Structure 1
Amino acid sequence: MSSPPESQPSGMLLLREIPALPGGWASAMFGMVLAETLAEVSVARCRLYVLVDLVRPAADPPVAGALVEMGPPAREARLRALSVDRAHRGRGLDRRLLGDLLTELRADGVQRVRYRVVGTDTAVCTLLRSAGFVLEDENPAVTCRYDGAAIEAPAVAWLMREL
């Protein structure tokens, strides 16, 4: 029996929860988002969920992953990042990862998942909307005042899904 090509996952994928620690493949997969998250919240509240290919050696990096911040408030999670390894993109692993992740979070008692929308996240927003996420606030624009002049601040919007 021959092993699958290097760029093709075998289809024997498993979602695993691992500690969110900086360094190695986790830093390569999530970049600055991991460092920023760990600077803002404790490691105890951060979780990495990864899709691993059971056919490959255990030392191989995961094919996809999600960085999640758990509460507060209780029973709420904030999705910080989704990532699929470049060699495995275009195969629907983002949908598989998100579906498995939502199932796992629901089993852990999470009732709401939120994602902060950033203007460059169009692909992630499309994926999340297709999975049932909706805008939490229909009018997210914020206007600030500085020295009497109105300044439009960048809009902060949240996509949210009840589980």
Structure 2
Amino acid sequence: MSSSLESQPSSTLLLREVLAYAGATGPDLLDEALEEALSEVSAARCRVYVLVDLARPVDDPPVAGALVEVGQPDRDARLRALVVALPHRGRGLGRRLLGDLLTEMRADGVQLVRYRVAAADPGTFSLLGSSGFVAADRTPIATCRYDGPAIEALAVAWLVREL
């Protein structure tokens, strides 16, 4: 049964937390980000979330995933990765994943979420901006694109959102 996600109602999507450790099975789309995070912080500070479609076979891979590093104290968090599987992109799943994730973090007592985004990733930059994230200095994110090597210094920005 390989049904299209487009034909499935959004109520069949579920955000699940899975174990975060090197070699963990399941969230393959987060392997690289998880490996990097675990080289910098303990697994106890990492949380992996996957968006699964309950209408699909149980052994199907997640349609999207996120990696969160919980700060100390737990009131702040760093969103380290937000990924939608290639065959499922362009269907609003990134927005759904981010919305469900922010709701989950708010319920866990997180008050501030940070994300380091590259200007070369306009899709993520736009998604976060439309979801209430602002530049770290608290100014609204400008919707713009920089082209050319002269702007290399502006290639990365920290975006934050209070919950």
For the aligned pair, the TM-score class normalised by the smaller chain equals 0.7 to 0.9
Q: CA deviation at 1:8?
A: 4.2
**More strand per residue:** 1
- Counterpart residue number, 1:54: 54
- Counterpart residue number, 2:92: 92
> Does structure 1 retain, via aligned residues, the 8 Å contact 2:133–2:159?
yes
Q: CA deviation at 1:33?
A: 1.6
TM-score (norm 2): 0.80
- Counterpart residue number, 1:10: 8
Q: Distance in 2 between matches of 1:71 and 1:60?
A: 32
> Does structure 2 retain, via aligned residues, the 8 Å contact 1:49–1:66?
yes
TM-score (norm 1): 0.80
Q: Distance in 2 between matches of 1:14 and 1:87?
A: 18
- Counterpart residue number, 1:103: 103
> Does structure 1 retain, via aligned residues, the 8 Å contact 2:76–2:110?
yes
**More helix per residue:** 2
> Does structure 2 retain, via aligned residues, the 8 Å contact 1:9–1:63?
no
Q: Distance in 1 between matches of 2:2 and 2:38?
A: 35
> Does structure 2 retain, via aligned residues, the 8 Å contact 1:20–1:48?
yes
Structure with larger Rg:
1
Give the counterpart letter for 1:5 in structure 2.
Answer: S
Q: Distance in 2 between matches of 1:117 and 1:73?
A: 23
Measured on the aligned residues, the alpha-carbon RMSD in Å equals 2.3
> How many percent of aligned residue pairs carry the same amino acid?
59
Q: Distance in 2 between matches of 1:126 and 1:79?
A: 15
Q: Distance in 2 between matches of 1:95 and 1:14?
A: 14
Q: Which moved more, 1:124-133 or 1:73-82?
A: 73-82
- Counterpart residue number, 2:129: 129
Give the number of aligned pairs.
148
Q: Which moved more, 1:49-58 or 1:6-15?
A: 6-15
- Counterpart residue number, 1:145: none
Q: CA deviation at 1:20?
A: 1.5
Residues 16 and 138 of structure 1: CA distance in aligned 2, closer, same or farther (over 3 Å): closer
Structure 1: where are the runs of 5+ without partners?
140-152
Q: CA deviation at 1:138?
A: 6.7
1:6-45 correspondence to structure 2 within 5 Å: 6=4, 8=6, 10-11=8-9, 12-23=12-23, 24-26=25-27, 28-45=28-45
> Does structure 1 retain, via aligned residues, the 8 Å contact 2:19–2:48?
yes
- Counterpart residue number, 1:114: 114
